[in-house]
Amino acid sequence: MKKYEIRKIKLSLFVMLWLWCLAPLAYNDHRVAGMDSIEQALKHPERLSDEQLMNAYKSLMWAYLPHDSVRSAGYAMQALALSYEHDWLNSRVDALRLLGLNAYGGGDYERALALYDWALQLNDTMSRKGGYEESTIDDNLSALYGSIANVYNMQDRLHLAIAYYQKALPLFEKYEWWESASILYYNVGELYSSMGNADEAEVNYRKAVDIGTLTGDTLMVVVPYKGLAAIYLDRDDRQRAKAAIDTLYAYYSHHRDDEVADYVTTLCRKARYELKWGGGVATAQPLADEALRLTDHEMMSDTRGEVYDLCCEVAILQHRWHDALHFAYQALATDPEETYGDVVTYSSLIKIYGALGQADSVAEYTDRMHHCLTRFANSHYQSGLSEMQVLYDTEKKEAAIESLQRERRWMMWGSMLGGVVLLLIALLFFLLWRSVHIGRKSALFKAKLDGEVEERIRIARDLHDGLGGMLSLLRMKIEQEADKGETLAHLDATSRELRHVAHHLMPEQLLRSGLTTALSDLALSMPNTEFYNTGDDDRPLAKDLEIVLYRCTYELVNNAVKHSEAGTITIELNHHGSNVMLVVSDDGHGFDPSRASHGRGLKNISERIARYNGRMNIDSSPEGTRVSITVKEN
């Protein structure tokens, strides 16, 4: 993912999701126009009923939110105070959500999360107490889930953001809020794309297109094709890439005056297609020139960066080395901070300086590229560790809430049945057991966190050992002024190896928490997928075996999602003694195992489990598919 694409995700998500959170303004424009008259009425509160006062506070707090956050928060606090006088829970939820949005807009993300969490608890109380319409409770939930996801997204906690966006999606679809659902599927696709998960990104982009069709808004349908075009270009899927780019060009070429940035992006996508499969530089050059002509300093840096990188690539292919050098430095200048996306530009600079025979510059940008990849790996590790802590804290809090709810239910039934004493004793035993269970779980979690330090060292060692030899050879060849064509070939091989290492880092959750947790998280991140641990042996497996089983599971689940049209996918893990069985089943349309056995995916699985004397059995029919893998722990 290039630096300008990542920043574009952030900006587009922020705009769309901020508008989503301010949804009340979309259907209450009269609030803005009538603010003066409402505030005049509030000068004589004795003339208003408490219901009228609450409506006035809520109207003003939402109306002032985009313009005057201080006044907006002031009216929200008055609404909050009034809600306690009458126990108006829904009004309290509304006020808390607005205060959370105020904190979010001001960059105080932790306070925003605390306010949203408070509102969620109140909404749960509304559900348990009754007296509120289901649509009101669901409306609160969808808005709060989206708001929480927005915070996690701005904090770069992408797994958490996706989890909360996906909680909101069923509510949008339940009430046929198609526009919100389409936007959300697109946003989830963008997040998966930024994480390097092109398969899940494609699934969500496609859903955004399908649901966007239901809105009747052409733009809702077209926008996801930007992501799809990038995916298909990276996959070298010529037919689908052309279809996506043609869709983009047909729309944005007719809206180039009011959608300049997206038109420029479309030109870049189209030019890259021409470089790969079309007329080559001859047809890509005019597109790149037009994109460059439309680019100015008022345009977002991500769009300008994409244009400069494209022009650099065209110039390299034409052996216009000094022009290529100019565009590469312009691409770097779009953002003063070094990002992981700078690796792409560093790779171009290495090619340029290699062609110019400037060995010192090649060595400099090779080192920068290596440093950038190493820093990215460390940053990725730290981010994942932080998300793990948040998920653990959330689990503890939900467990405490569940324990409290169970206690209340026991006490209620105890009073009804008259067995107060017996129920209190039972409750005491339950709380003691719960306390021991949570204590053990906390100790286990701490041990897993301590073990993550070793993984950080391993990542650094792999980057050094795996790439050091190639980089050293590259320097020697350039310093000896070897054949430039051969040197450029080695440069390309080095770039491919760097991308290989960056995109095939070990799944962090697997290294942190083991196979069971990693498979559980995998099921959570995949649509309609469930995980069951049916074994009776809790001992951790050897790390290399866990890695093999995880990759086999990912391959099988991914095949089911992409090819079987399954409604439900089930993952089962059974560890008993030295025997381990992994089963992945689905209710899709099945396939012919004799023909599929020649496929690369199943062949890879067979090769991976062979060293453990593993066996794979496939049972497939039109009613579904069941693949079982049995291995013995060494």
Q: What is the pLDDT of residue 594?
A: 73
Query: CB–CB of 98/62 below 8 Å?
Result: yes
- 431 three-class SS: helix
Read off the tokens for 174: 């339940």
Read off the tokens for 405: 């709810």
Evaluate if residue 20 carries a pLDDT over 50.
no
Instruction: Spell out the CATH class of 1-175.
Output: mainly alpha
Hey, what amino acid is at 375? Answer: R
Give the separation between CA 354 and CA 109, rounded to whole angstroms.
Answer: 46
Degrees to nearest 5, angle at CA 362 with 360 and 364: 70
Number of C-beta neighbours around residue 503 at 10 A: 10
What is the residue-wise DSSP string for 76-125?
HHHHHHHHHHHT-HHHHHHHHHHHHHHHHHTT-HHHHHHHHHHHHHHHHH
For domain 515-632, the question of CATH label 3.30.565.10 is answered with: yes
Give the separation between CA 92 and CA 136, rounded to whole angstroms.
Answer: 13
Per the prediction, the chain carries an average pLDDT of 78
Query: CB–CB of 534/573 below 8 Å?
Result: yes
**Highest mean pLDDT (candidates 196-200, 240-244, 390-394, 538-542):** 240-244
Contacts of 424 (CB under 8 A, 6+ apart): 414
> Among 403-407, 562-566, 589-593, which stretch is predicted with the lowest mean pLDDT?
403-407
Q: What is the pLDDT of residue 600?
A: 67
Instruction: Measure the N-to-C terminal CA separation of the chain; round to a whole number of Å.
Output: 39
422 against 189, higher pLDDT: 189
Average pLDDT (268-286) is 93
pLDDT band at 324 (very low <50, low <70, confident <90, very high): very high
Closest CA to 632 of 587, 592, 575: 575
Sheet of 624-632, strands arranged across: 529-533, 569-576, 579-586, 624-632, 615-621
Closest CA to 317 of 250, 272, 374, 256: 272
CA distances from 280 to 52, 226, 317, 377 (A): 68, 21, 9, 35
Evaluate if residue 500 carries a pLDDT over 50.
no
Evaluate if residue 24 carries a pLDDT over 50.
no
Q: What is the pLDDT of residue 3?
A: 41
Which residue carries 């590469």 as its tokens? 328
Give the separation between CA 76 and CA 61, rounded to whole angstroms.
Answer: 6
Q: What is the pLDDT of residue 307?
A: 92
pLDDT band at 499 (very low <50, low <70, confident <90, very high): very low
Contacts of 93 (CB under 8 A, 6+ apart): 119, 122, 123, 126, 140, 144
Q: Which helix (H) or strand (E) covers residue 405, if one does?
A: helix 359-417
pLDDT band at 318 (very low <50, low <70, confident <90, very high): very high
Closest CA to 209 of 248, 162, 254: 248
27 against 127, higher pLDDT: 127
Encode pLDDT of 331-344 as tens digits.
888 877 776 667 77
Strand partners of residue 625: 586, 620
Dihedral, CA atoms, 373, 375, 380, 386, nearest 10 degrees?
180
Q: What is the DSSP letter of 616?
A: E
**Residue 365 burial by CB count (10 A; 0-12/13-18/19+): exposed, middle or buried?**
buried
Hey, what amino acid is at 561? Answer: V
Q: Which helix (H) or strand (E) covers residue 450, if one does?
A: helix 420-479
Average pLDDT (466-495) is 59
Query: CB–CB of 474/366 below 8 Å?
Result: yes
Encode pLDDT of 127-170 as tens digits.
888 888 988 999 999 889 989 988 988 887 888 888 898 888 89
Read off the tokens for 183: 């936007």
- 544 three-class SS: helix
> Among 139-143, 429-433, 541-545, which stretch is predicted with the lowest mean pLDDT?
429-433
Evaluate if residue 1 carries a pLDDT over 70.
no
Query: CB–CB of 392/445 below 8 Å?
Result: yes
Domain ranges in the chain are: 1-175, 368-503, 515-632
CA distances from 159 to 154, 166, 225, 392, 552 (A): 12, 11, 23, 13, 22
Query: CB–CB of 271/287 below 8 Å?
Result: yes
Query: Do β-strands 624-632 and 615-621 pair in parallel, antiparallel, or remain unpaired?
Result: antiparallel
Contacts of 149 (CB under 8 A, 6+ apart): 17, 160, 161, 162, 163, 164, 165, 168
Closest CA to 370 of 486, 454, 306, 462: 462
Encode pLDDT of 206-226 as tens digits.
999 999 999 888 888 999 999
Q: What is the pLDDT of residue 10?
A: 46
Degrees to nearest 5, angle at CA 248 with 247 and 253: 110
Give the separation between CA 52 and CA 48, rounded to whole angstroms.
Answer: 6
**Residue 272 burial by CB count (10 A; 0-12/13-18/19+): exposed, middle or buried?**
buried
- 496-502: long-range contacts at Cβ-Cβ below 8 A with a sequence spacing of 24 or more? 497/466, 497/467, 497/470, 498/343, 498/347, 498/369, 498/370, 498/373, 498/467, 501/373, 501/462, 501/463, 501/466, 501/467, 502/340, 502/343, 502/373, 502/376, 502/377
Q: What is the pLDDT of residue 42?
A: 80
Strand partners of residue 78: none
Average pLDDT (50-77) is 88
Q: What is the pLDDT of residue 302?
A: 79
Contacts of 552 (CB under 8 A, 6+ apart): 582, 605, 608, 609, 629
Query: Which string of b and e fits 62-87 if b means at least 16 CB within 10 Å?
Result: bbbbeeebebbbebbebbbebbeeee
Number of C-beta neighbours around residue 34 at 10 A: 15
Q: What is the pLDDT of residue 483?
A: 55
> Among 369-383, 543-557, 571-585, which stretch is predicted with the lowest mean pLDDT?
369-383
Number of C-beta neighbours around residue 540 at 10 A: 13
Strand partners of residue 532: 572
Whether the model clears a pTM of 0.85, i.e. scores above it, the answer is no
Q: Note the maximum CA span of the chain.
A: 94
SS (H, E, C) 173-231: HHCCCHHHHHHHHHHHHHHHHHCCCHHHHHHHHHHHHHHHHHHCCHHHHHCHHHHHHHH
